[in-house]
Amino acid sequence: MISELKRKQVVTCFLRNRGEVLLLRRSAKVGSYQGRWGAVSGYVEDTPERTARREISEETGLGAAVSLVRRGESFSVEDPELSTQWVIHPFLFDCAHRDLRLDWETTEAAWVPATDILARDTVPQLWTSYGHVAPSLDSIHGDHAHGAAYLSYRALEVLRDRAGVLAQQERDQGTHHAALRKLAADLLRARPAMAVIANRVNRAMYACRDAPSAQDVERAARNALDQAYAADEHTAQCAAGYVHGRRILTLSRSGTLTDALLRAAPSAVVVAESRPGAEGVAAAEQLAQHGYAVTLIPDSGVAQALHQGLADAVLVGADSILPSGACVNKVGTQSAALAARHYGVPVYVVSALDKLSLAEDVTLESAAPSRLYAGDEKIDVQCPLFEVTPCELITAYLTEEGELAPQRMQALADEFERMAEW
């Protein structure tokens, strides 16, 4: 009976880097589940989040390198053999690197796809803990804080994780593939303005079109995730060459562009706040934390900053690239590009080619009208999140294949159509 069990509260912290999570093998010195695999864990001593951060620092040395992604709902697990009811508080953190400093609680560490949890001898309900913080179709649909590349990784993780679960079951493989095809189709529709999600999910599904078992889909999703990270890293390397020593003006929050800025040494960075959402504020904070000279400005101050000569180049990310060479990005991008053309400042779009859309017409997302006006007057409110910047305002795209003219995009887009035929 539950009343006879000792109730103990613990945190379980999943650390994620490049789409993989950190698993730790528990040593013989710990009090329970010796030799089993788990995540960073520990007894709650103050608040769960403070405990989580302390345990991460003590067990891995990654305390300063992690950022909280999600705290999941707590749940209970009973272990009659230990006369214990565990109350588990799950967390997910993103890690900037994998440089570990393990303590006495761990004998072995491994960065693995989350689905490896299903095949290992783990502490009780580790996969359930992960499920409470794992990316989902809903979290991708509702995430307006991260860029398109980041969300494409999460989409591939969702596909991989679901395929991994189905691969463990003994049901008909045709039923499995039908379920995964539906999930893939739902992922394509989750963020229609972000072509990179569709292209990367299409790549995974196309790769296993002739071998449609759940194991094949899981393997294809893993490979597509590796390819996605490689493409974005090569793109960031390309862009870094244009950043070094320059004064850069940017807006919104592109993970690939931020990576490029952190790889190089710009003399200064001007960041527009990027409303609605103000993602530029978080981007400015991240750059400042790394010691960069950062100036945060309102969106309405972009033209004035260029007039004052505060930037040698405008660099922005992209949520999608259109076949015409136009760019879909956060609202404010077109205004910045127009001002840059007026003042003779080049505009570069930092983007992997996976962001190429298959169609010129795209659905542009909007925020809730209340984000802009919550008053009582009868006012027609429009609150766009994305807009199209014409190709003639773009100097060049900086991609994994180097610098490309906007006019090259149509021929490249044709190549992506084949992958959509799964």
- The residue among 54, 21, 56, 19 whose CA lies nearest residue 37 is 21
Strands (E), 166-312: 247-251, 268-272, 294-297
| Residue 165 identity | V
* Edge-first strand listing for the sheet containing 320-321: 320-321, 327-330, 386-389
Helical residues (DSSP H) of 273-369, grouped into ranges: 279-289, 302-307, 333-342
225-230: Cβ within 8 A, 24+ apart: 225/19, 225/153, 225/156, 225/157, 225/160, 226/19, 227/203, 228/149, 228/152, 228/153, 228/156, 228/200, 228/352, 228/354, 229/18, 229/19, 229/153, 230/400
306, two tokens: 């260029």
DSSP, collapsed to helix, strand or coil, labels residue 375 as: coil
319 is catalytic: yes
DSSP, collapsed to helix, strand or coil, labels residue 384 as: strand
Say which of 216, 319, 380, 414 is annotated catalytic.
Answer: 319
Cβ contact 127:162 at 8 Å: no
How would you write 69-98 as a 3-class SS string? EEECCCEEEEEHHHCEEEEEEEEEEEECCC
Give the span between the Cα atoms of 226 and 14, in whole angstroms. Answer: 20
Report, as residue numbers or ranges, the catalytic residues. 319
